[in-house]
Amino acid sequence: MKLKQRVVITCVGLATLTIFYLLVETVYKINPNRLPTFLKNSLSNVGHEYDGSHISAIRKRLNKSNYTSDDFSPEGGGDKVSGVGKDTLHSSDDRRSRKDGVEHWAMSPLLLRINNTDSEVDLLLHKLQNYDRRKFDFTKLKPIPYYEYLKTLRKRIKRKGTSLDAFRTFIGSLTTSWERFHKGIHQYHLYSPDDSTVDDLLRDVAQEPIVDVEQKEGGTQLKLIITFSDEGQALFKPMRYPREQETLPNHFYFSDYERHNAEVAAFHLDRVLGFYRVPPTAGRVVNMTRDIKRLADHKLSKTFFISPANNLCFHGSCSYYCDSGHAICGSPDLLESSMAAFLPPEKIAARKTWRNPWKRSYSKHRKAYWEVYDDLCDKVKTKSPYNTGRRLLDLMDTHVFDFMTGNLDRHHYETFKDFGNDTFHLHLDNGRSFGKWRLDDMSILAPVFQCCKIRYSTFMKLAKFYIGPDKLSALMKAETSRDKLFPVLIQNHLIALDRRVIKILKEIYICIQNGNDISDVIEDDHF
């Protein structure tokens, strides 16, 4: 063979091998399971672990208008997505695809007890302390009990704003806990932590005799409005799953049942965090025969039946899950439930519903804009109500809260109209929280790592859980211990809370490492 021929053959051979290798690598990245094991192993062994980045690259090439955009703009805006924004995908996509330990926790329950320290978080706290000792004195803070620190934070802020218009000129005494709760609603919190009313209300919704039951119209799943003998009311959600049962991996969050214990746990987490934005919610075991069936109207009562296992069941009527295949069953007629104290009626305290700019897509085929592009925050920041005042920080708080509970379902949130834009976000409807303790869904934190922003007081509370002496899991366990449904959360969920605290702090570390100003990232409220 001539030399020239040999060279040509060698080149063709090399080119074929390269093309084959690239082909195999691409298949591996798209779906490793399509490859024979030996190829899969050889690729993963040389550090080609799939991180999802190339899928993002493909997405990026697609027109931006392919993604759901109805909620792209903040309230009032009608901006369409197509053609706007810059491609800043890499940073947060890398972050989102950072190993979040899902497999790790799944494989070894013994490894659940995660390290309580993290070198990046340690570096962050060290850096902050050096940056401003007055604001970030972690050495001094370390031995202080969490609740004591929470009080000092509150003193620092020290304001509750106005009350609802309807109560501003009210004189006279209110005897029931639910009336006192309504009167206590203020511009900057739903209730005051120093007021014993909330504990009275929790006791009452858990034990006052039930005198009326009504199905709540609207919504996707069955909910009842319960009226008590003192004329107070609560939103009832029934137990659908035992505490241990996790959301199935192939289920979308929007096709998951709501969890009664999640509603109770979310209330307590909100209170521990010093947010005071979730209506007081307690667990209660109801006697379905006496407390529901007896008081039900004809439409509801005819959905009651005895199951083959001799338990009393009912399904009510609603747009999903209201048939005998999705019945709510007692044991034999005792049923666990959550009771969320009712807010004042619209006539007394009208509420405004806001679309969450970081709302998810409710389609199994489409992604939301922010899941693909990183520039949503640039737009949100410039538009009302997020361009002034507290609302952007409140949105960050909402997502910090939802990340901790694992709630993907925050499509909207509400505020009281009386208070205008300078008020807190109500965190209603936490039923889809605490579905997966193994998974820390980083995408819920997207607003935080895309805006690189967190409220100073929220950051400090998380840092305080991290440095101790009180771990969030321990505080949550203690808080929920008075509830009739204790243990409201199983240990795995409690441990997940501690783990998630660390993950939020790590995101803040990355923001600062990436060169963002500390004072921009950890932002104080400007009063």
Ligand X SMILES: Nc1ncnc2c1ncn2[C@@H]1O[C@H](COP(=O)(O)OP(=O)(O)OP(=O)(O)O)[C@@H](O)[C@H]1O
339 touching ligand X, by CB under 6 A: no
Residue 220 or 317 having the CB closest to Mn ion: 220
Among 313, 335, 428, 502, binds ligand X (CB under 6 A): 428
From 345, 355, 209, select the one nearest 286 (Cα to Cα).
Answer: 209
Q: How far is the CB of 207 from ligand X (least distance, A)?
A: 18
Q: Does 198 bind ligand X (CB under 6 A)?
A: no
Structure tokens at 390: 């507290």
Binding mask 415-444 for Mn ion (x = CB under 5 A): --------------x---------------
The listed partner (Mn ion, ligand X, none) that binds 274, CB under 5 to 8 Å by sort, is none
Residue of 240, 182, 234, 239 whose CA lies nearest to 211: 234
| Interacting partner of 185 out of ligand X, Mn ion, none (Cβ under 5 to 8 A depending on kind) | none
Task: Name which of residues 221 to 250 contact ligand X (CB under 6 A).
Answer: 221, 223, 235
Looking at the Cβ atoms of 397 and 429, the one nearer to Mn ion is 429
317 binds ligand X (CB under 6 A): no
Measured from the CB atom, is 264 or 463 closer to Mn ion? 264
Sign of the Cα pseudo-torsion (71, 269, 388, 191, in order): positive
Evaluate the CA torsion angle 142, 277, 358, 439 in order and state its sign. positive
Question: Which phi-psi region, left, alpha or beta, contains residue 161 (left: φ > 0; alpha: ψ -120 to 50)?
Answer: left
Does residue 118 touch Mn ion according to CB under 5 A?
A: no
459: left (phi over 0), alpha (psi -120 to 50) or beta: alpha
Rounded-to-integer distance, Cα 438 and Cα 104, Å: 9
The CB-nearest residue to ligand X is 219
Q: Which is nearer to ligand X, 431 or 447 (CB)?
A: 431
Residue 158 token pair: 């020290």
Question: Could you tell me if 118 and 506 are in contact, meaning their C-beta atoms sit under 8 angstroms apart?
Answer: yes
341 annotated as a binding-site residue: yes
Contact 280, 340 (CB under 8 A): yes
Smallest gap from residue 409 Cβ to Mn ion (A) = 6
Residue 32 contacts which entry, ligand X, Mn ion, none (Cβ below 5-8 A, type-dependent)? none
Stretch 5-44: interaction string toward ligand X, x if CB under 6 A = ----------------------------------------
Q: How many residues bind Mn ion (CB under 5 A)?
A: 1
Give catalytic status of residue 520 as yes or no: no
Beta bridge partners of 337: 238, 284
Minimum CB separation from Mn ion for residue 430, in Å? 9
Instruction: Judge whether 221 is annotated as a binding position.
Output: yes
Distance of closest approach, residue 431 Cβ to Mn ion, in angstroms: 6
Count, residues in the chain: 527
Rule CB under 6 A: is residue 262 a binding residue for ligand X? no
**DSSP β-bridge partners for residue 334:** 287
Q: Which is nearer to ligand X, 127 or 352 (CB)?
A: 352
| Residue of 485, 491, 489 lying closest to 334 (CA atoms) | 485
Shortest separation between residue 217's beta carbon and ligand X, angstroms: 9
Dist CA 231 CA 236 (whole Å): 15
- 342 assigned binding-site residue: yes
Residue 491 assigned as binding residue: no
CA distances from 99 to 96, 105, 446, 503 (A): 8, 12, 16, 11
| Residue 279 near which of ligand X, Mn ion, none (CB within 5-8 Å, type-dependent) | ligand X
Taking the C-alpha atoms of residue 206 and residue 285, their distance in angstroms, rounded to an integer, is 8
For 522, phi and psi rounded to 5 degrees?
-100, 95
The verdict on whether residue 429 carries a ligand-binding annotation is yes
Q: Shortest CA distance to 226 belongs to which of 167, 124, 296?
A: 296
Range 456-485, binding Mn ion (CB under 5 A): none
Residue nearest to Mn ion according to CB distances in the complex: 429
Judged by CB under 6 A, the stretch of 114-122, 219-227, 354-362, 442-450 that binds ligand X is 219-227
Question: Toward ligand X, which CB reaches closer, 278 or 467?
Answer: 278
Tell me the C-alpha distance between 392 and 384, whole Å: 10
Binding mask 374-413 for Mn ion (x = CB under 5 A): ----------------------------------------
Catalytic-labelled residue, pool 333, 409, 418, 483: 409
Q: Examine residue 488 and tell whether it contacts ligand X (CB under 6 A).
A: no
Question: 495 vs 109, 128, 408, CA distance in Å?
Answer: 11, 26, 19
Angle made by CA atoms 263, 446, 423, in degrees to the nearest 5: 60
Question: Closest distance between ligand X and the C-beta of residue 244, in Å?
Answer: 23
Stretch that binds ligand X, among 43-51, 148-156, 217-225, 265-273 (CB under 6 A): 217-225
Contact 396, 384 (CB under 8 A): no
Q: Report d(CA 97, CA 470) in Å as an integer.
A: 31
Binder among 77, 85, 101, 219 for ligand X (CB under 6 A): 219
- Candidate list 300, 339, 343, 476; residue touching ligand X; CB under 6 A: 343
The token duo for 389 is: 């005042």
For ligand X, the closer of residues 267 and 465 by Cβ is 267
Nearest to 441 by CA among 257, 249, 274: 249
Site track 265-304 with ligand X (rule: CB under 6 A), x = hit: --------------x-------------------------
Distance between CA atoms of residues 5 and 12, nearest Å: 11
Contact 321, 327 (CB under 8 A): no
CB 311 within 8 A of CB 331: yes
Q: Give the residues lining the site for ligand X (CB under 6 A).
A: 219-221, 223, 235, 279, 340, 342-343, 428-429, 431
Which residues belong to the active site? 409
Mark the binding-site residues for ATP, compressed into ranges: 221, 237, 258, 340-343, 414, 429
